[in-house]
Amino acid sequence: MEDVNATANKLLNVNGKKTVTEFMRELGGLMWENCGMARSDASLKENLKKIPALREEFWQNVKVTGTGAEFNQQLENAGRTADFLEFAELMCRDALHREESCGGHFRVEHQYDDGEAKRNDADFCYAGAWEFKGLNNEPELHKEPLKFENVHLAVRSYK
């Protein structure tokens, strides 16, 4: 509970100039453009530079109105935005790590000449979970191999 109160007080006391909504829109734009349905090594690396900078700006320039004494939607949204900034960075990190195109994860560098997604089941046939190790620390990837007994892995054709 102390951590929650400390974070709430920190958010309320920044008293910056940009609203939570402005930060959320900027983050959403970065994710849409650089980590959306089609992404590339370059676009993901761009986000991995821009998101930490946006997070730093958020903690120095966010404006949260009201107090923590009553229900405060702005404070709630600010907390969620802080979480989304961390989550977005992790999503980009994971997408950069995954050297293949599979399902809705299309890396432009990993496609066949006809534009179909190029899977890499030899290296990426696992369920992955990233362990948060704190800000500015590399997260740790934990892998659980996937075993397919009744389904043959294959490239999906959308033609």
User: What is the predicted pLDDT for the residue at 72?
Assistant: 93
Average pLDDT for runs of 10 along the chain of length 159: 87 96 98 95 98 98 92 95 96 95 87 90 94 90 94 77
Torsion-angle region of 68 (φ positive above 0: left; ψ -120 to 50: alpha; else: beta): alpha
CATH fold for domain 1-97: Methane Monooxygenase Hydroxylase; Chain G, domain 1 (1.20.58)
CA distance 17 to 89: 24
**Three-state SS annotation for 110-150:** CECCCCCECCCHHHHCEEEEEECCCCCCCCEEEEEECCCCC
Which tokens in the block code for residue 53? Answer: 């900078």
Give 38's contacts (C-beta < 8 A, 6+ positions apart): 106, 108
Q: Which of 48, 44, 21 is nearest to 33 (CA)?
A: 44
Taken in order 22, 27, 32, 33, is the CA torsion positive or negative? Answer: positive
User: What stretch(es) of the chain map to CATH 1.20.58.100?
Assistant: 1-97
Which tokens in the block code for residue 130? Answer: 């990233």
Range 44-48, long-range pairs (CB < 8 A, 24+ positions): 44/92, 44/95, 44/96, 45/96, 47/88, 47/89, 47/92, 48/89, 48/92, 48/93, 48/96
Torsion-angle region of 142 (φ positive above 0: left; ψ -120 to 50: alpha; else: beta): beta
User: What is the predicted pLDDT for the residue at 158?
Assistant: 67
